[in-house]
Structure 1
Amino acid sequence: MSAVLKPEASLRPMLAADLDAICRIEPTIFPYPWTRGNFDDSLKSGYSCWVYEHAGEVLGYAVLMMVLDEAHLLNISIAAPWQGKGYGRSLLAHVMDIARGHGALNMFLEVRPSNQAALGLYESMGFNEMAIRRGYYPAPNGREDAVLMGVAL
């Protein structure tokens, strides 16, 4: 009897060809998703954009903007069927390493206070609450605050 190894998930730079898959995932996990134009602009601007894939299927992605010695995580997402399996943690660790490699001393991000899973992940990776950005996100009842979080790299 021989064992058949399953392909591992892998990280790679995002390509324009990935945008269809990304734009299918984004609205399934966010009530106010990024548009194709947001992702396209991020690629064209030279942001550090990454895709997590498994057997040719995009299961997650991240967009990181570098400004001098600071990194700002603009988007990090794992498709719903793949959440809770450690892929988000792995993707976050990867972009933190990328930021360090580009000389970032700190990384920042905003997160909805209602996104308890994301808050837990960020805190477990060393991020701390720094401030509240009032009315930062659109919400069904108007606006929702954002928690600004940061970590020293």
Structure 2
Amino acid sequence: MNMDPTHASQPPAAISPLSILDVSAMFRIEQLAHSHPWSQKLMASNFGGLYRDLGLWQGDQLLGYVIVRVVAGEAELINIAVDPAHHGQGFGRQLMQAMMALAQQEQWEQILLEVRASNAPAQHLYRTFGFDEIDRRKGYYPSAEGREDALIMRCFCPA
């Protein structure tokens, strides 16, 4: 039994839609989680209309988010991040589960994503949700060594 009082008082993490008002909290995580983070302006441009933005909250603290763009029943996971201080706690999995539930609810046909070729943990997570590699973009991402390939992965959504 865990008697650590710092964990006993924390509420469970919950998923809810994000709004433009959450961009500063998202941007903080973006800067911590990615080697080449998006700008705050770019993050703010991913709301409304075609976008589905979900956040994972513990109380009033944003722990992670997922941004999906949906066009005519086809979705693209364009950004997902979890605060590195909370890695290894299953929060990325929770965000993916929430996205997949939304896919079923909105009847998406498929979901596409791009992931760094070097990001084995993310690739493993995506594969557990039925994503398969379908292509590769040479030199797509900037990296410390110059450029890095992106793997394009796809998952067909169950009807």
Task: Note whether the superposition's TM-score is higher than 0.5.
Answer: yes
Pairing partner for 2:139 from 132, 135, 140: 135
Residues 78 and 88 in structure 1, CA contact (< 8 A), matched pair in contact too = yes
Residues 10 and 58 in structure 2, CA contact (< 8 A), matched pair in contact too = no
Q: What is the alpha-carbon distance in structure 2 between the residues aligned to residue 135 and residue 70 of structure 1?
A: 25
1:69 aligns to 2:67 (yes or no): no
* Residue number in structure 1 paired with 2:41: 37
Residues 65 and 82 in structure 2, CA contact (< 8 A), matched pair in contact too = yes
Residues 49 and 62 in structure 1, CA contact (< 8 A), matched pair in contact too = yes
Unaligned runs of 5+ in 1: none
Letter in 2 for 1:69: G
Pairing partner for 1:58 from 62, 66, 79: 62
> What count of residue pairs does the alignment treat as equivalent?
150
Q: Shift of the alpha carbon at 1:37? A: 1.2
For the residue of structure 2 that corresponds to 1:131, the secondary structure is strand
Q: What is the alpha-carbon distance in structure 2 between the residues aligned to residue 112 and residue 99 of structure 1?
A: 23
RMSD of aligned residue pairs (Cα, Å): 1.5
Identity %: 33
Moved over 4 A (4+): none
Q: Shift of the alpha carbon at 1:45? A: 4.6
Residues 1-153 of structure 1 mapped to structure 2, 5 A cutoff = 6-153=10-157
Q: What is the alpha-carbon distance in structure 2 between the residues aligned to residue 75 and residue 12 of structure 1?
A: 16
Residues 27 and 33 in structure 1, CA contact (< 8 A), matched pair in contact too = yes
Q: What is the alpha-carbon distance in structure 2 between the residues aligned to residue 46 and residue 130 of structure 1?
A: 24
Unaligned runs of 5+ in 2: 1-7
Letter in 2 for 1:33: P
